[in-house]
Structure 1
């Protein structure tokens, strides 16, 4: 498959997809994934499989964590994009003092010819994530 064969140009699909994450909209995010999608946050947890499971995963994640995105760069290929970004997390120390944590992230997102996300692999800077969650008293 080439970019020209996609139902929507890859940068346009990314822009639409990114809106879902920026607005924390599980319905929009899930609607852009294939029925048999795989979402894998490489933090030791199991991959999420299927559109409905992804929707619920997003609902749970957005309820648990308050974070925003700072895009560093996005690279487009024929059937996938790679986005380097920084997750900015609003957290609290166990005593209640708020703090902001920054974690470097990298996503590899594969799409099919219909323009559906078939797989999203998310990699995080483990040392930064571990330090942030430890400071907040969160065990992962």
Structure 2
């Protein structure tokens, strides 16, 4: 090995979180999917079916970003061995049935598991059900 050769090391969990968060902030399905394992599971804990596999996740994100206009307000981040927990608030731009715009605030909690290669193998997203239901009801969106 040449003296100036670099040894590839997985990013720290904090650096992985930062890169992953950029994908969500910029609404980039390709970046998000590239950080997941091929057999990843993405589960929004609202009663809907989990998304399984990198390509299905990419398409799910494309549809999500095309359907909903939202931003993230950062909260606590807790890092552990092979995982992180992220508390955040979704600022969701919606319209009442009469057309009046409003911004809903929905508390969210992500639990993300990583493999040894630094890929996301599972993401469970827990929304505040009361806040989510109230926002969708105000917008006239059936759940």
Matched, 1:92 2:95: yes
With normalisation by structure 1, the TM-score equals: 0.95
- Which structure 1 residue ranges, 4+ long, deviate > 2 Å from structure 2? none
Structure 2: gaps of 5 or more residues: 1-8
Distance of 2:78 and 2:30 partners within structure 1: 25
Matched, 1:109 2:112: yes
Distance of 1:43 and 1:61 partners within structure 2: 15
Distance of 1:37 and 1:117 partners within structure 2: 7
Aligned partner of 1:55 among 48, 52, 58: 58
Aligned-pair distance for 1:123? 0.1
- Aligned residue for 1:82, secondary structure, equals strand
> Which structure is higher in RCO with an 8 Å CA cutoff and minimum separation 6?
1
With normalisation by structure 2, the TM-score equals: 0.93
Number of residues paired by the alignment?
135
Coordinate RMSD, CA, aligned: 0.7
Aligned-pair distance for 1:68? 0.4
Q: From the CA coordinates, give the structure whose radius of gyration is larger.
A: 2
Distance of 1:60 and 1:138 partners within structure 2: 16
